Amino acid sequence: MKNKKRIRNLAIVMLSVVSLLAGCGQASTNSNKSSSENSTKQESKQTVVTDSTGAKVTVPNKITKIADAWPAHNEIVAMLGGSSKIVATIDSKKAYPWLYKVFPDMNKAQTIFTNTTVNTETLAKLKPDVLFIPTESKLLAKTKELGIPTVQLIFQNYDDLKKVVNITAQTLGGDAQSKADKYNSYLDNRLKSVKAVTSKIPDSQKPKILHIESFKPLTIDGKDTIVDDWIQAGGGKDAAEISGNKKPASMEQVLKWNPDIIIMGKSVLNDKNSPIKSLDELYSNPQWSQVNAIKNKKVYVNPMGVFLWDRYGMESALQFQWLAKLLHPDQFKDLDMVKETQNFYKTFLNYNLTADEANKILNAQNP
């Protein structure tokens, strides 16, 4: 009898231990599950993008405030639907009036960057979710301590332009990627269409083109750049025999290259340090008088809209078309740059450009 009682008590104790262990196991499982769910929720609130340097940058899944310190990039953000989110910019209204006309939301942004300086106190107060900045920017050392997720971007050709558009879209989220895909498809199609014509033009009929970045100091854009890319796509040859952007050049080199055509941005003549303020001054300058482009008065101020067409913005998709029409009008009779510019602005910038406004942009005039 005593043995039976002892066995029954032992069974009860064992059942209690098993029950207790099961409860602990369930609590542990629930705890692990809860921790895993919280981690998953946290990850779902973030996006990891790979920038132009190859760095992986973690940004919020929902971007509400943007700082953009790359002049050429603000219009890419705007094209992808982010103009109302830009709280800090490098693009002033004075320098880029079309940007502010086409995207009035830009008037809310504070201009706190230059190419070499940044108001870090204001940037910290604005608390942007992401900072876009060009690679190798001097600003990076000054903004790094603020802990803002920073996406570094650059491109030197049209293929890499598409990559920058995609990286930006991935960062912004929402419907930005569908807009990026539409733009990249347009760029591919127009490049293919124009190159199909210009690739058949004999080299002897392709003029040598020099792209000037500034007169004082004399700097030019050479090979292995987006400038070289659109010169070739548009049916020209790059006169510069050096590589890179904003490279110093001498008058002796220019005379040796002897370009048939010179192209420059509006800002070159507006530069307060420039000794040459107009095309007339350039044509009458004795130093330049022996250059073919000057002799034949073949110097052109490049179109400028929301951003400079000839440099690193998304409007460079129009640049090679403008050049092809300029250099080879007979081969591009059906290309109407006024209409092309209007359609481009409507499709990608959601702005109904009038014919008069399109002409102003093509002639680098302010709104």
Q: How much is the pLDDT for 183?
A: 98
Q: What's residue 6's pLDDT?
A: 54
pLDDT at residue 123, rounded to an integer: 98
User: Phi-psi category of 235—alpha, beta or left, where left has phi over 0 and alpha has psi -120 to 50?
Assistant: left
Q: What is the pLDDT of residues 300-327, one digit of tens each?
A: 999 999 999 998 899 999 999 999 999 9
Domains, the chain, in order of start with CATH, read: 47-188 (3.40.50.1980), 200-301 (3.40.50.1980)
Specify whether the CB–CB gap between 362 and 339 falls below 8 A. no
pTM: 0.87
pLDDT at 38 (0 to 100): 46
The pLDDT value recorded for residue 289 is: 94
- In the numeric block, the tokens 């262990």 are attached to 21
pLDDT value of position 8: 57
Contact status, residue 212 vs residue 264, Cβ threshold 8 Å: yes
Query: In which residue ranges of the chain is pLDDT below 50?
Result: 1-3, 7, 10-22, 24, 27-29, 31, 33-42
Q: Is the omega angle on the peptide bond into residue 217 within 30 degrees of 0, that is, cis?
A: yes
The dihedrals phi and psi of 13, each to the nearest 5 degrees, come to -60, -45
What are the start-end ranges of the H helices in the chain?
2-44, 74-79, 97-102, 120-126, 140-143, 158-172, 176-198, 226-233, 251-257, 266-270, 279-283, 292-295, 316-327, 337-349, 355-362
pLDDT computed for residue 273 by the predictor: 87
Question: Max alpha carbon distance in the chain (Å)?
Answer: 127
Rounded to the nearest integer, the mean pLDDT of the chain is: 91
What pLDDT, on the 0 to 100 scale, is given for residue 43? Answer: 52
